Structure 1
Amino acid sequence: MGSCFSAESRSPLPGSPLSPHLANMKKRNSRKRLGSRGSSFEYRKDEALHRIPGRFFLNGSTDVASLFTQQGKKGTNQDAMIVWENFGSRTDTVFCGIFDGHGPYGHLVAKRVRDHLPLKLSAHWEANVSSEDVFRDFSLGSMTSENMSLLLVDKESRPSIDFLESEKHPDIFETLKESFLKAFKAMDRELRVHPSIDSFCSGTTAVTLVKQGPYLVIGNLGDSRAVLGTRDKNNMLTAVQLTVDLKPNLPAEAERIRRCKGRVFALHDEPEVTRVWLPNNDSPGLAMARAFGDFCLKDFGLISVPEITFRHLTENDEFVVLATDGIWDVLSNEEAVEIIASAPARSSAARALVEVAIRAWRYKYPTSKVDDCAVVCLFLDSNSNHLSTASNGNTEVQPTSKDQLDNDIEENNNLDVLTPLNQSGITRTEEETSLEGNEDPSMLENMNSDMGINWSALEGVSRVNTLVNLPRFIPEKEEKAGK
């Protein structure tokens, strides 16, 4: 809970005055903003990106992945996701990403990163591969003074590489590691000077992966998470966490922030959530130690450098789940893997996880607003049918509707209007709406006891099965209306 700006943290809201210190910082970092025409033109220019074959970012599924997101009760859905097959024109490669925006313009930051980070990663990957070819040519041919100077310049621009690490991992890891670092840096630099997206007090997390053949490389920023579903020696499905939640409560993260004069502490009314604060101002209260954007904190310890990890996949590895903290705040890694494995079909796996998480929110935190949830499930063996009763030939991809694209354009057109954001997120079914129809906190507080649920008494009983089988609560007024 509390991974993004909260009311308790007294973060600046659209239209609210900034403190003198924060206002001066914003003035120094401000850039000229385009009007609505510029925003609309930019989105139209990016619209072709959404039509690329093999690139999916809406609710749906393919032969190798399942995607689903649902808006919570905090406002506009700030989560974004993407699956890009044949990534970088490589037929054996797929890119996946989950992005959790926060702040007044977090939804715009998350979408921008979703759309442009993969492009930057692909470009740097291609450049690094070409550079390696040049190095190989140098080693095979004569070394002229001109070639030597080019070699030295390129070498200086590269981050240092741990030689012990390079011995353990194949070349693809070193190449992609460098590409991830450069792409994330370029993405954050672009956000800082973007003409129509204000990232001063807004940002996004990112957990991204590239799978090429049996190799998996993950770039992680913030507190979204990647979890692997794999078989142990007893053929039991187990969960392996592939990323670390990069929060301010981690000693190394807190130490870096404090060295940069940022403050790290939790509020009295939410002692379990450690936040990052400005040196002389009780704002913005960011509950993560790394993120894109949030430039008000970038001089005080917040960074956009991802943690890069590698895994050599085996035949025991079945799927990877990427999800925002709306999932992990209420479900464990083991529960998430169990839910995916219990889904009736691969095409519905991501949606099943989101729906169970929303029910868990209702029963675990009855007085709290449900967070946005987004899930990408990547199946590692497209020919296997362990989790699906449907034919592998069935591909259910939700097309990019004109209405949804127009809604995004309208959001961009209203960038300069500092009014509270509307709550028109994704399209909701009547059934989904009824799940969130209850607004009476006292009624919600009594739901557990009314339904006969006692979490502490569920020893030896699968909590996942309990959550999945819980009846949906429909308020009496909606029940009557249905009749």
Structure 2
Amino acid sequence: MGSCLSAESRSPLPGSPSSPHLPNMRRRGSRKRLGSRNSSFDYRKEEPLHRIPGRLFLNGSSDVASLFTQQGKKGTNQDAMIVWENFGSRTDTVFCGVFDGHGPYGHMVAKRVRDHLPLKLCAHWEVSISSEDVLREISLNTAGSMNSEDTTFVSADEESRASVDLEETEKHPEIFQALKESFLKAFKVMDRELRMHANIDCFCSGTTAVTLVKQGPYLVIGNVGDSRAVLGTRDKDNSLTAVQLTVDLKPNLPAEAERIRKCKGRVFALQDEPEVARVWLPNNDSPGLAMARAFGDFCLKDFGLISVPEISYWRLSEKDEFIVLATDGIWDVLSNKEVVDIVASAPARSSAARALVESAVRAWRYKYPTSKVDDCAVVCLFLDSNSNNLSTAFNAKPKVQPTSMDQIDNDNEKDNNLAVLTSLDRSGTVRTGEEVLPGVNEDSSKQEEMNSELGIDWSALEGVSRVNTLLNLPRFVPGEEDKKAAGGTKARK
């Protein structure tokens, strides 16, 4: 229920060492980044990214997807999301992803990964496909006489080769092998670029990423961190069920904890939140990261934290209806089945993601009345654009979110002007209830005003009240402040 904990947000454990060297570690990392020549990207050079047709990253919807994110009560919204139709210029291919940033610069890391990881994945996928075509042609011309040494020029690097074995090659189609290799390379290059970036301090800031590529009936997922992907499908009795497609990569998993400890990192939970295992430096009670894999967080990369994605494959069937990608602000308060039922109960596809986020917010206030609501981001990908199974209203024409450059520039300007220059010891990588940045903790009414200005029609949400019945939650009156939210921080972020 949290991602990072700062060194000063609590007292050190009895007998634990102090942290005088941590600021020095940060300065050394910063000097290395500032001296890099490989981080010459600036925002103006990235403007064409926001004009790519079929690429959605703001609240809205298209024929096949619904997106919605809402800022919590802990500070600036550090969640990001994307749906990219016709991915790689393939009409049957879609890329989706959600990213949950953490730390003082987490919002910048999440958006950077959102904008650049898909491009890197697409580029490596093209290279992989071209390499396969070359190999196939050579194989035909040489009648199988080529040995392994002849193929090394198109082989994956050592990390990729180690992850692809003969059994998987026989079990999965070619698209999985090509995309698996591409995911591994893209994630590795993305993390390396973040380390060298001159304008984003990723030493104690990072992001999760759960991403997928759907091509026809094939689905390949790459995941780091504790965001999650869940499939809504029908069982043999035609009942809607939830299938979890990813594993939450947290330090409490035995394999993850073993790797971290072998690298001299420490894994333990605090006494006041025994259910949340965290990653700590060997000689310092910081930063307390609640995930075992992430982009960024370079203070822990020598101590067991990795950005290598867990990659999985799924062949879709006619019984599969939709996929939900969401950050942990959703999963901390809703079960997989509740999420699937809420999406299926939405009156229209265009409002499904928003219905889920608003249900999660109500669940936060009901289950954790003394905690501040977390940021939430949701992508709902519908697998059959002509299906009526989810709702009789799903045939209504959805509104497509405009992505004007004015909105992009304003969003970027606000991000860069945030008060993120606080010291590591003060802000660390946690957003507690007592340290909310002034001016960025906007209420939901301002979110509504922005949606109204952008022309989003959410009038189809009349049926969302059914969600309360599904969750057994009390009726929530829009605009009513949670009077109990002032005390405590049960779910630390």
Please give the range of the TM-score, normalised by the shorter of the 2 chains: 0.7 to 0.9
* Whole-angstrom CA distance in 2 between matches of 1:270 and 1:5: 12
Give the corresponding residue for 1:466.
472
Q: Cα deviations across residues 286-305 of structure 1 (Å, max 9, x unaligned)?
A: 00000000000000000000
Tell me if structure 1 keeps the 8 A contact 2:231–2:244. yes
* Whole-angstrom CA distance in 2 between matches of 1:23 and 1:475: 39
- Equivalent residue runs for 1:421-436 within 5 Å: 421=437, 423-424=439-440, 428-429=444-445
- The correspondence for 2:262, drawn from 259, 264, 267, is 259
Tell me if structure 2 keeps the 8 A contact 1:40–1:412. no
Secondary structure, counterpart of 1:58 in structure 2: coil
- Equivalent residue runs for 1:78-477 within 5 Å: 78-142=78-142, 151-155=151-155, 157=157, 158-160=160-162, 161-390=164-393, 392=395, 394-411=397-414, 413-414=416-417, 418-419=421-422, 421=437, 423-424=439-440, 428-429=444-445, 464-467=470-473, 469-472=475-478, 474=480
Q: Quick one: structure 1 residues 351 and 40, their matched pair in 2 at CA, closer, same or farther if it must change by over 3 Å? A: farther
Paired residues, number? 442
* Whole-angstrom CA distance in 2 between matches of 1:97 and 1:294: 20
Secondary structure, counterpart of 2:21 in structure 1: helix
* Whole-angstrom CA distance in 2 between matches of 1:463 and 1:266: 35
Deviation of the 1:424 alpha carbon = 3.6
Q: Quick one: structure 1 residues 61 and 8, their matched pair in 2 at CA, closer, same or farther if it must change by over 3 Å? A: farther
Instruction: For 1:236, give the aligned amino acid.
Output: S
Q: Cα deviations across residues 75-95 of structure 1 (Å, max 9, x unaligned)?
A: 000000000000000000000
- Equivalent residue runs for 1:27-46 within 5 Å: 27-31=27-31, 42-46=42-46
Q: Cα deviations across residues 365-414 of structure 1 (Å, max 9, x unaligned)?
A: 00001000000000000111223444647231221244432233324544
TM-score scaled by length of structure 2: 0.83
Give the corresponding residue for 1:22.
22
Tell me if structure 1 keeps the 8 A contact 2:105–2:200. yes
Q: Quick one: structure 1 residues 251 and 40, their matched pair in 2 at CA, closer, same or farther if it must change by over 3 Å? A: closer
Report the RMSD for the aligned CA atoms in angstroms: 3.1
Deviation of the 1:153 alpha carbon = 3.2
* Whole-angstrom CA distance in 2 between matches of 1:417 and 1:32: 20
Secondary structure, counterpart of 2:190 in structure 1: helix
> Which one is further off, 418-427 or 194-203?
418-427
Instruction: For 2:480, give the aligned amino acid.
Output: I
Instruction: For 1:303, give the aligned amino acid.
Output: I
* Whole-angstrom CA distance in 2 between matches of 1:310 and 1:237: 21
Instruction: For 1:134, give the aligned amino acid.
Output: V
* Whole-angstrom CA distance in 2 between matches of 1:339 and 1:256: 37
Q: Quick one: structure 1 residues 472 and 427, their matched pair in 2 at CA, closer, same or farther if it must change by over 3 Å? A: closer
- Equivalent residue runs for 1:49-60 within 5 Å: 49-60=49-60
Q: Quick one: structure 1 residues 476 and 469, their matched pair in 2 at CA, closer, same or farther if it must change by over 3 Å? A: closer
Tell me if structure 1 keeps the 8 A contact 2:202–2:297. yes
Deviation of the 1:9 alpha carbon = 5.4
Tell me if structure 2 keeps the 8 A contact 1:97–1:114. yes
Q: Cα deviations across residues 191-219 of structure 1 (Å, max 9, x unaligned)?
A: 00011011000000000000000001000
Structure 2 unaligned residues grouped into runs of 5+:
12-17, 423-435, 450-466, 484-493
Structure 1 unaligned residues grouped into runs of 5+:
12-17, 434-460, 478-483
Give the corresponding residue for 2:429.
none
Percent identity between the aligned chains?
A: 76
Secondary structure, counterpart of 1:107 in structure 2: helix
Secondary structure, counterpart of 1:384 in structure 2: coil
Q: Quick one: structure 1 residues 187 and 415, their matched pair in 2 at CA, closer, same or farther if it must change by over 3 Å? A: farther
Secondary structure, counterpart of 1:467 in structure 2: coil
Q: Cα deviations across residues 336-366 of structure 1 (Å, max 9, x unaligned)?
A: 0000010011100000000000000001000
Instruction: For 1:429, give the aligned amino acid.
Output: S
Tell me if structure 1 keeps the 8 A contact 2:7–2:287. no
Q: Cα deviations across residues 281-330 of structure 1 (Å, max 9, x unaligned)?
A: 00000000000000000000000001000010000000000000000000
Instruction: For 2:273, give the aligned amino acid.
Output: E
Deviation of the 1:166 alpha carbon = 1.4
Deviation of the 1:7 alpha carbon = 7.8
Q: Quick one: structure 1 residues 41 and 226, their matched pair in 2 at CA, closer, same or farther if it must change by over 3 Å? A: closer
Q: Cα deviations across residues 257-289 of structure 1 (Å, max 9, x unaligned)?
A: 000000000111111111000000000000000
Give the corresponding residue for 2:488.
none
Q: Quick one: structure 1 residues 393 and 91, their matched pair in 2 at CA, closer, same or farther if it must change by over 3 Å? A: farther
* Whole-angstrom CA distance in 2 between matches of 1:82 and 1:214: 20
Q: Quick one: structure 1 residues 364 and 148, their matched pair in 2 at CA, closer, same or farther if it must change by over 3 Å? A: closer
Q: Cα deviations across residues 57-107 of structure 1 (Å, max 9, x unaligned)?
A: 000011100000000001000000000000000000000000000000000
Give the corresponding residue for 2:64.
64
Q: Quick one: structure 1 residues 186 and 430, their matched pair in 2 at CA, closer, same or farther if it must change by over 3 Å? A: closer
* Whole-angstrom CA distance in 1 between matches of 2:443 and 2:399: 17
